[in-house]
Each structure stands twice: as C-alpha cells, then as structure tokens.
Amino acid sequence: MCIKRKLADLTLSGRSDDRAHPFTWGALHVLHNNAGGIDVARDTTLTGMDWSCWDGAINLNLMSTAYACRCAIPLTLESGGGAIVNTNSMVALSGDVRPTAYAAAKGGVISFTRFVAMQYDRLGIRCNAIAPGLILTERATPRPQAVNSCRRHQ
C-alpha cells in the first residue's frame, strides 16, 4: 500500500479521497507509523518558539499518525485484522527544558495509541507504541548532555 501525502501539510478533511486503497498485494495486516522529526533549533520553550514550529511538530509527529491510522483501519478490518505500531520517543515520557512541541506531539501519540487500541481491539486490530531513546546521529550532537548520557550506557 502506498499513501502519498506531504506530511507537513496534512489535514484530516474526512473526504473520501482520504482513504487508502490497496495496490497489487491485496490485504493490509500491518501499519508501522514511523514518520517523525524535530527542528532542534526552533523547538525551544513554549514562549520562546513561534507557532509555526508548534504546528509543524504536531502535524508531522501526531497528525500523520492519526491520518495513516484513519486510512489503514478500514482496510485492515476488511483484511480480517492486524496490527498498528506507532513509533514514539522516550522524550514524551520524561520532562526536559526542550523540545517542547515534539514532546507534546509524541505524548499525543501515546494517548492516541491507547484510544485506537481500545476502539479496535475487539475488532481484531492491535495498536501499540514503541519508544526508542536517543539515537546517536549527527542531528543528536547539538544535545551534548543527552549524547554523553547515552555513551555512558553503551
């Protein structure tokens, strides 16, 4: 299956074209929502960031998850059930001085995952979230405290 959307401009309009359509492979049994990201330079404190940063984080990290689930659930039900896995982040489970918008969005993914799990479990769809910690990439280096903490645990 392929859902082609620009995630940063995502809206939940409820139109019929918001539904996913399976291609050659037929049934849909697994959805893994793994889109996400953060603007480390702009995602600061609540009063220090502009609202476009907040909106972007919510759209990319929460709305994209909701949109993909909304598209996939009807097909998964038609296929006899399956599983949804939403990638989250440990930052949603802890407090810190930043990234505020990213953490709020990922916190929303946790709550959203619980609701989808309760709504569709009896119909044969499991929904879970996984929350990896900081992954040591070039983008992680602006957070030396977090990087050093990860290196201590390797």
Burial readout 88-124 (b: 16 or more C-beta within 10 A, e: otherwise): bbebbeeeeebbbbbbbbbbbbeebbeebbeebeeee
What distance in Å separates the CA atoms of residue 77 and residue 50, rounded to the nearest whole number?
40
- Residue 20 near residue 5 (C-beta atoms within 8 A): no
Which residue of the set 102, 104, 105, 120 is catalytic?
A: 102
The yes-or-no answer on residue 102 being catalytic is yes
Catalytic positions are 102
